[in-house]
Amino acid sequence: MNKKIVIIGASGHGKVVANIAKLNGYDEILFLDDDTSKKSCGRYPVAGTSKDIRQYKGNYDFIIAIGNNRIREKISDMLERENIKQTTLIHPSAVIDETVKIKEGTVIMANAAVNAEVQIGRSCIINTSSSIDHECILEDYVHVSPGVHVAGTVSIGKSTWIGIGATIINNLSICANCNIRAGAVVVKDVIESGDYQGVPAKKKE
Protein backbone atom coordinates (compact mmCIF):
# COMPACT_ATOMS: atom_id res chain seq x y z
CA MET A 1 0.00 0.00 0.00
CA ASN A 2 1.20 3.49 -0.81
CA LYS A 3 1.32 6.00 2.01
CA LYS A 4 -0.10 8.63 -0.33
CA ILE A 5 -3.70 8.90 -1.46
CA VAL A 6 -5.77 11.01 -3.85
CA ILE A 7 -9.39 11.54 -2.79
CA ILE A 8 -11.73 12.60 -5.59
CA GLY A 9 -14.47 14.85 -4.21
CA ALA A 10 -13.67 17.75 -1.86
CA SER A 11 -16.79 17.89 0.30
CA GLY A 12 -17.91 17.15 3.83
CA HIS A 13 -18.03 13.48 2.91
CA GLY A 14 -14.50 13.85 1.62
CA LYS A 15 -13.35 15.16 5.00
CA VAL A 16 -14.68 12.02 6.66
CA VAL A 17 -12.95 9.82 4.08
CA ALA A 18 -9.70 11.75 4.63
CA ASN A 19 -9.87 11.05 8.35
CA ILE A 20 -10.30 7.33 7.67
CA ALA A 21 -7.35 7.46 5.29
CA LYS A 22 -5.23 9.09 7.97
CA LEU A 23 -6.25 6.42 10.49
CA ASN A 24 -5.23 3.81 7.92
CA GLY A 25 -1.70 5.14 7.81
CA TYR A 26 -1.72 7.56 4.89
CA ASP A 27 0.65 10.42 5.59
CA GLU A 28 0.07 12.37 2.37
CA ILE A 29 -3.54 13.15 1.45
CA LEU A 30 -4.74 15.41 -1.33
CA PHE A 31 -7.99 16.06 -3.13
CA LEU A 32 -9.11 16.50 -6.71
CA ASP A 33 -12.39 18.26 -7.45
CA ASP A 34 -13.90 19.64 -10.64
CA ASP A 35 -15.04 22.78 -8.79
CA THR A 36 -11.98 24.91 -9.44
CA SER A 37 -12.96 27.41 -6.73
CA LYS A 38 -12.05 24.85 -4.06
CA LYS A 39 -8.50 25.20 -2.81
CA SER A 40 -8.67 23.01 0.29
CA CYS A 41 -10.84 20.41 1.99
CA GLY A 42 -10.38 20.61 5.72
CA ARG A 43 -6.64 20.59 6.32
CA TYR A 44 -5.80 19.04 2.96
CA PRO A 45 -5.11 20.75 -0.40
CA VAL A 46 -7.24 20.48 -3.51
CA ALA A 47 -4.47 19.90 -6.03
CA GLY A 48 -6.50 19.93 -9.25
CA THR A 49 -9.44 18.37 -11.05
CA SER A 50 -10.31 14.87 -12.22
CA LYS A 51 -8.41 15.67 -15.43
CA ASP A 52 -5.19 15.54 -13.39
CA ILE A 53 -5.43 11.92 -12.25
CA ARG A 54 -2.70 10.69 -14.58
CA GLN A 55 0.01 12.70 -12.84
CA TYR A 56 -0.66 10.81 -9.60
CA LYS A 57 -1.12 7.37 -11.17
CA GLY A 58 1.32 4.80 -9.83
CA ASN A 59 2.52 6.90 -6.91
CA TYR A 60 -0.76 7.41 -5.08
CA ASP A 61 -3.71 5.26 -4.10
CA PHE A 62 -7.13 6.51 -5.20
CA ILE A 63 -10.60 6.64 -3.63
CA ILE A 64 -13.79 8.48 -4.61
CA ALA A 65 -15.55 10.51 -1.92
CA ILE A 66 -18.77 11.52 -3.67
CA GLY A 67 -22.14 10.61 -2.19
CA ASN A 68 -24.09 10.76 -5.44
CA ASN A 69 -24.17 7.19 -6.74
CA ARG A 70 -24.28 8.05 -10.44
CA ILE A 71 -21.40 10.50 -10.26
CA ARG A 72 -19.39 8.01 -8.23
CA GLU A 73 -20.02 5.38 -10.90
CA LYS A 74 -18.99 7.77 -13.69
CA ILE A 75 -15.67 8.61 -12.01
CA SER A 76 -15.09 4.99 -11.06
CA ASP A 77 -15.45 4.04 -14.73
CA MET A 78 -13.02 6.81 -15.65
CA LEU A 79 -10.43 5.43 -13.23
CA GLU A 80 -10.94 1.95 -14.64
CA ARG A 81 -10.27 3.23 -18.16
CA GLU A 82 -6.98 4.60 -16.84
CA ASN A 83 -6.17 1.18 -15.31
CA ILE A 84 -6.33 2.67 -11.83
CA LYS A 85 -7.60 0.26 -9.19
CA GLN A 86 -9.16 2.01 -6.23
CA THR A 87 -8.25 1.16 -2.68
CA THR A 88 -10.80 0.38 0.04
CA LEU A 89 -10.96 2.25 3.33
CA ILE A 90 -12.32 0.85 6.60
CA HIS A 91 -12.49 2.86 9.82
CA PRO A 92 -10.64 1.09 12.64
CA SER A 93 -13.78 1.09 14.80
CA ALA A 94 -15.86 -0.77 12.21
CA VAL A 95 -16.57 -4.43 12.94
CA ILE A 96 -16.17 -6.53 9.80
CA ASP A 97 -16.56 -10.31 9.87
CA GLU A 98 -13.64 -12.17 8.30
CA THR A 99 -15.96 -13.77 5.72
CA VAL A 100 -17.11 -10.44 4.28
CA LYS A 101 -16.14 -9.76 0.65
CA ILE A 102 -15.55 -6.12 -0.30
CA LYS A 103 -14.78 -4.85 -3.79
CA GLU A 104 -12.55 -1.92 -4.66
CA GLY A 105 -13.48 1.68 -3.92
CA THR A 106 -15.76 0.95 -0.97
CA VAL A 107 -15.58 3.01 2.23
CA ILE A 108 -16.81 1.68 5.59
CA MET A 109 -17.13 4.33 8.26
CA ALA A 110 -16.91 4.57 12.04
CA ASN A 111 -18.85 2.09 14.18
CA ALA A 112 -20.38 0.26 11.22
CA ALA A 113 -20.98 -3.48 11.61
CA VAL A 114 -20.90 -5.90 8.70
CA ASN A 115 -21.65 -9.51 9.57
CA ALA A 116 -20.97 -12.97 8.20
CA GLU A 117 -20.81 -13.64 4.47
CA VAL A 118 -21.94 -10.21 3.35
CA GLN A 119 -20.89 -9.24 -0.18
CA ILE A 120 -20.29 -5.54 -0.87
CA GLY A 121 -19.83 -4.30 -4.42
CA ARG A 122 -17.64 -1.71 -6.02
CA SER A 123 -17.50 1.88 -4.74
CA CYS A 124 -20.15 1.45 -2.05
CA ILE A 125 -20.55 3.64 1.03
CA ILE A 126 -21.33 1.99 4.37
CA ASN A 127 -21.84 5.01 6.55
CA THR A 128 -21.44 5.80 10.24
CA SER A 129 -23.08 3.46 12.77
CA SER A 130 -24.94 1.44 10.14
CA SER A 131 -25.31 -2.32 10.27
CA ILE A 132 -25.46 -4.94 7.53
CA ASP A 133 -26.40 -8.36 8.86
CA HIS A 134 -25.49 -11.83 7.63
CA GLU A 135 -25.51 -12.91 3.99
CA CYS A 136 -26.63 -9.63 2.48
CA ILE A 137 -25.60 -8.68 -1.05
CA LEU A 138 -24.99 -5.02 -1.88
CA GLU A 139 -24.38 -4.43 -5.56
CA ASP A 140 -22.09 -1.74 -6.97
CA TYR A 141 -22.50 1.93 -5.95
CA VAL A 142 -24.97 1.31 -3.11
CA HIS A 143 -24.99 4.06 -0.46
CA VAL A 144 -26.03 3.05 3.05
CA SER A 145 -26.53 6.21 5.14
CA PRO A 146 -25.76 6.69 8.85
CA GLY A 147 -27.84 4.69 11.28
CA VAL A 148 -29.34 2.34 8.70
CA HIS A 149 -30.09 -1.22 9.80
CA VAL A 150 -30.27 -3.96 7.20
CA ALA A 151 -31.36 -7.36 8.52
CA GLY A 152 -30.04 -10.67 7.23
CA THR A 153 -30.26 -12.06 3.71
CA VAL A 154 -31.21 -8.79 1.99
CA SER A 155 -30.23 -7.99 -1.59
CA ILE A 156 -29.81 -4.32 -2.54
CA GLY A 157 -29.55 -3.46 -6.23
CA LYS A 158 -27.02 -1.28 -7.99
CA SER A 159 -26.96 2.45 -7.21
CA THR A 160 -29.68 2.30 -4.57
CA TRP A 161 -29.49 4.85 -1.75
CA ILE A 162 -30.73 3.86 1.71
CA GLY A 163 -31.52 7.07 3.64
CA ILE A 164 -30.49 7.89 7.18
CA GLY A 165 -32.11 5.79 9.87
CA ALA A 166 -33.98 3.49 7.47
CA THR A 167 -34.66 -0.12 8.40
CA ILE A 168 -34.92 -3.11 6.09
CA ILE A 169 -36.31 -6.38 7.46
CA ASN A 170 -34.78 -9.73 6.59
CA ASN A 171 -35.09 -11.83 3.43
CA LEU A 172 -35.97 -8.98 1.08
CA SER A 173 -34.81 -7.77 -2.30
CA ILE A 174 -34.57 -4.11 -3.31
CA CYS A 175 -34.08 -3.44 -7.01
CA ALA A 176 -31.55 -1.10 -8.59
CA ASN A 177 -31.82 2.70 -8.66
CA CYS A 178 -34.06 3.15 -5.64
CA ASN A 179 -34.10 5.91 -3.06
CA ILE A 180 -35.25 4.61 0.31
CA ARG A 181 -35.93 7.81 2.21
CA ALA A 182 -34.87 8.68 5.74
CA GLY A 183 -36.61 6.69 8.45
CA ALA A 184 -38.45 4.40 6.05
CA VAL A 185 -39.15 0.80 7.07
CA VAL A 186 -39.03 -1.67 4.19
CA VAL A 187 -41.13 -4.77 4.91
CA LYS A 188 -41.57 -6.27 1.44
CA ASP A 189 -39.63 -6.62 -1.80
CA VAL A 190 -39.08 -3.44 -3.80
CA ILE A 191 -39.42 -4.46 -7.45
CA GLU A 192 -39.76 -1.08 -9.16
CA SER A 193 -37.17 1.71 -9.17
CA GLY A 194 -38.21 4.98 -7.52
CA ASP A 195 -38.54 6.86 -4.24
CA TYR A 196 -39.91 5.03 -1.21
CA GLN A 197 -40.87 6.53 2.12
CA GLY A 198 -42.90 5.93 5.27
CA VAL A 199 -43.68 3.09 7.67
CA PRO A 200 -44.14 0.72 5.97
CA ALA A 201 -42.29 2.10 2.97
CA LYS A 202 -44.41 2.86 -0.10
CA LYS A 203 -43.49 4.32 -3.45
CA LYS A 204 -43.84 8.07 -3.61
CA GLU A 205 -46.24 9.11 -6.37
Residue that finishes a domain, picked among 63, 87, 111: 87
Q: pLDDT, tens digit, for every residue of 21-55? A: 999 999 999 999 999 999 999 999 999 999 999 99
DSSP class of 85: -
> Are residues 125 and 137 both part of a single domain?
yes
Is 205 within a domain?
Answer: no
Q: 178, 190 in Cβ contact below 8 A?
A: yes
Domain membership of residue 48 as a residue range: 4-87
> Are residues 26 and 66 both part of a single domain?
yes
Distance in angstroms (rounded) separating the CA atoms of residues 45 and 29: 8
| Positions marked catalytic | 134
The letter for the amino acid at 139 is: E
DSSP class of 69: H
- In the chain, pLDDT over 90 holds for what percent of residues? 97
Residue that finishes a domain, picked among 58, 87, 116: 87
Residue that finishes a domain, picked among 61, 87, 113: 87
Residue 2 pLDDT more than 70? no
> Are residues 176 and 146 both part of a single domain?
yes
Residue 164, marked binder: yes
Task: Provide the pLDDT for residue 205.
Answer: 76
Rounded to an integer, the average pLDDT of 114-134 is 98
**Closest among 171, 9, 108, 127 to 156, alpha carbons compared:** 171
Residue 126, marked binder: no
> Are residues 189 and 117 both part of a single domain?
yes
Is 135 within a domain?
Answer: yes
Distance in angstroms (rounded) separating the CA atoms of residues 187 and 50: 40
Distance (Å) of CA 44 to CA 7, 31, 40: 10, 7, 6
Residue 13, marked binder: yes
> What confidence category does residue 1 fall into, taking pLDDT thresholds of 50, 70 and 90?
low
Rounded to an integer, the average pLDDT of 153-166 is 98
* CA diameter of the chain: 49
> Are residues 79 and 23 both part of a single domain?
yes
Rounded to an integer, the average pLDDT of 174-196 is 98
CATH number at residue 181: 2.160.10.10
In terms of DSSP bridges, do strands 101-102 and 119-120 run parallel, antiparallel, or are they unpaired? Answer: parallel
Residue 140, marked binder: no
Residue 8, marked binder: no
> Are residues 72 and 98 both part of a single domain?
no
Structurally, how many domains does the chain consist of? 2
> Are residues 78 and 114 both part of a single domain?
no
pTM of the predicted structure, to 2 decimals: 0.95
Residue 203 pLDDT more than 70? yes
Q: pLDDT, tens digit, for every residue of 65-117? A: 999 999 999 999 999 999 999 999 999 999 999 999 999 999 999 999 999 99
Is 204 within a domain?
Answer: no
> Are residues 22 and 106 both part of a single domain?
no
> Are residues 10 and 106 both part of a single domain?
no
CATH number at residue 8: 3.40.50.20
Distance in angstroms (rounded) separating the CA atoms of residues 106 and 101: 11
> Are residues 155 and 56 both part of a single domain?
no
